[in-house]
Structure formats: C-alpha cells, structure tokens
Amino acid sequence: MKVLVTGGTGYIGSHTVVELQQGGFEVIIVDNLSNSYESVVDNIEKITGIKPGFEKFDLTDRDKTLDFLKHHKDLKGVIHFAASKSVGESVEKPLKYYHNNLLSLIYLLEGMVQNNIDNIVFSSSCTVYGQPDELPVTEKAPIKKAWSTYGHTKQISEQIIENTSISNGIKGILLRYFNPIGAHDSVLIGELPIGSPDNLIPFITQTAIGKREVLRVFGDDYDTPDGTAVRDYIHVVDLAKAHVVALNRMITGKNQAKVEIFNLGTGWGHSVLEVINTFEKISGVKLNYRITERRPGDIEKVWADTQFANQELGWKASKGLEEMILSAWNWELELKKRV
Ligand code: UD1
C-alpha cells in the first residue's frame, strides 16, 4: 500500500513516515527541504530498516505536482504536511503563506482527482477555533475569525477539501493538532528548527543547553490559575500514530462522512510556568527565564475534547507531560553530541 507524505522530512512528517512504514505502508516523501534536511531520510531508514522514497520538489510547481501524481496512480492516499507554519512570519508575509499553503493543496487535489487517488489526511490546527467560548473544545465548536494568516490558511484549506469532496471521489480526514512536542525514542529524528525557534519547548531546551540566553514567558496576567497561557501539549509520536489510523479508516471504508474532523490532543491543559517547572524537575537544570509582555496573537487557553477521536478513531494519546518533556530534552542533548 503506497502512500505519499508531503513534508515528510519535517518534524511531524518524519515521525509519521516511521509509523506508516511500521504499519506496513510503502512511503514516498515529497519535500522542498525549505525547513528540513535530506539526512532525515537516512535517519528514518536507521529506525525502520526501510528507506522511504524521496523526491525534492515544491508542490506549488503545478506541472511537477501533476506529473508526479500521474506517475503514481497507485497511491492509496496522501498525507499532506507540507506548509509554512510560523504564526509570526505569516502576519509579516501573508502572501507567502497564502501562496505556499493554498497552491500546494490545490495542485495536490487537482492531481488526486485526475488520477482517482481518493484519500487525503490533512494537517490542520486547533488554531482554527481561535479562543473557544467553551473548554475543552470539541470539533463542533464554531470556526472564528483567524488571528493570523497561518490560521486563515488552515481554515481555507479545510474548506477547500470539504468543497472538493462534494463533487468527486475525494475523502478527507482533517486532523486538528494541539501543541506537538517531543521526539522519537531513538533520538534519530526530532524537531530541527532552522534559526531561532518560535515554539515554547525548543526554546526551553535551547536555553537550558546554552544556545539561547533567556526564555521570555509571554505574559502572566491571563485568566488562568498561575496567569500564564495554557495549551494542550501532545507527544509527536502519539500524533503520528493517529495519521496511520486515519488513513486506514478511509482505505477500509470505515469513515462515516466524506470529510471527517478530529481533534488531536491529550485533553489536558498545562500553563507555561507548569511546563517550565516540569522541565526543571526532570532535567535538573535551572532555566533562565523572565516574564515579559503578552505575545501578539496568542490566545489565553485551549485544550481538546478528545472523546470523538478516542471513540471514533479508536486512538488515544498515551504520554504525559513529564515523559514528553524528557523526550524533548533527550533530543536536545543528542543534538549537542552531533556538533
Ligand atoms: C501556535 C498555534 C498552532 C500552530 C503553532 C505553530 C494557536 C493556538 N496555536 O501554537 O496552531 O501550529 O503555533 O508554530 O494559535 N511561549 C512563551 N515563550 C516562548 C514561546 C512560547 O512564553 O518563547 C508561550 C506562548 O505564549 C504560548 C505557549 O508558550 O502560550 C505555547 O507557544 P507555542 O509553542 O509558540 O505554540 P502556540 O502559539 O500555542
């Protein structure tokens, strides 16, 4: 069973490729390497013993994308990760985000329709909910005006898949990720941010190891127990496994609608200070951090209602906060050994 993974050398993509191979799929990766490295392909092979196929090109190149799919009509499905993902950058360069994130999806779908490739799993985000009125947030919560262009591209992409599925054979599962963290147990793959990371966990581990001087905690005046913002952190391998379940669900015709939506979180919210305290406890390292102003565009608190994913997908996140943070720290320690 052959599957295309776009963005397969990236953070979530690479962990998903491993789980797919271990689940019996033959994987071909397409990635433009704009935010990842080709060496990830070899590291995947070290973990699974199987080298995934790899082609380097940009999915916003329509001719290349259509040509690729024409030559891979036997694909059982597509898992589409390839996208730009920095919230801050998306506000500064909106056209880059509309261009990259929407054109790649449109050309992929065009090629899928042309070649009767039916199943797509799409990387969406809890960002589509904005600040939800009720917590935990369920998949039925209203989509609110996006706070960033990044978030807007996820909302539009979901709509593009839904509308495309109406008039042809395309089936889709839209996975709304909460905050993925951690790395594979082998420490052969993990998050490799190019430049200064935006996200909390790599910023914490890089500060602890000495790559960054100080961690800024963005705001302690939120309406939360300790005043810092609350998120639902989920281990990247738990997240990766959900993609295999989702793909199998469509291949075996178990989906209940042409397009289904699932939250991928743990159901637990943790504040920034709680994450920092947990990191200090498990690593034994005292973090240099200071409280600063809120980061523009940040929401106050969000965590997932996971019931639908647990019951319908038969999938559940297995790792708790300590285990996840230890996993991220082991990865940072491994990266230090590599240089
Ligand atoms: C956001 C998006 C998510 C998107 C991700 C991509 C929302 C709700 N989430 O995650 O959909 O996929 O970006 O990058 O829009 N923090 C600090 N100091 C730091 C970094 C972060 O205090 O140096 C705090 C943030 O203010 C936030 C929490 O840590 O409260 C998590 O931040 P981050 O890891 O950047 O993820 P989100 O912003 O939640």
Q: Write the pLDDT tens digit of every residue in 141-199.
A: 999 999 899 999 999 999 999 999 999 989 999 999 999 999 999 999 999 978 889 89
44 close to ligand 1 (CB < 6 Angstrom): no
Give residue 297's pLDDT: 83
122 plus 209 within the same structural domain: no
298 close to ligand 1 (CB < 6 Angstrom): yes
* Residue whose CA lies nearest to ligand 1 atom number 1: 87
Q: Quick one: average pLDDT of 5-27?
A: 98
Of the residues 11, 129, 150, 177, which is catalytic?
150
**Domain total in the chain:** 2
Residue 173 belongs to domain with CATH number:
3.40.50.720
Within a domain: 191: no
135 plus 272 within the same structural domain: no
Residue 211 belongs to domain with CATH number:
3.90.25.10
Within a domain: 29: yes
Token representation of residue 256: 């209940």
Give residue 196's pLDDT: 87
237 plus 329 within the same structural domain: no
**Structural domain range at position 206:** 200-231+268-302+319-338
Beta pairing partners, 172: 120, 259
Write the DSSP symbol of residue 189: S
Within a domain: 96: yes
Q: In this model, does residue 88 exceed pLDDT 90?
A: no
39 plus 106 within the same structural domain: yes
123 close to ligand 1 (CB < 6 Angstrom): no
48 plus 149 within the same structural domain: yes
126 close to ligand 1 (CB < 6 Angstrom): yes
pTM exceeds 0.95, yes or no = yes
Rg, the chain, Cα only? 19
71 plus 138 within the same structural domain: yes
* Residue whose CA lies nearest to ligand 1 atom number 35: 199
Distance, CA of 51 to CA of 41 (rounded, Å): 7
First to last CA, the chain: 38
Within a domain: 286: yes
Within a domain: 104: yes
Within a domain: 63: yes
133 plus 207 within the same structural domain: no
150 is catalytic: yes
Mutate to test the pocket of ligand 1, among 145, 158, 198, 226 (most ligand atoms within 8 A of CB): 198
Within a domain: 292: yes
Within a domain: 123: yes
Count the Cβ atoms, other than its own, within 10 Å of residue 256: 7
pLDDT of 236-287, one tens digit each?
Answer: 999 999 999 999 999 999 999 999 999 999 999 999 999 999 999 999 999 9
57 close to ligand 1 (CB < 6 Angstrom): no
207 plus 254 within the same structural domain: no
Q: Which amino acid is at 305?
A: D
71 plus 56 within the same structural domain: yes
Cα distances (Å, whole numbers) of residue 282 to 193, 322, 327, 329? 23, 7, 10, 9
12 plus 37 within the same structural domain: yes
145 plus 253 within the same structural domain: yes
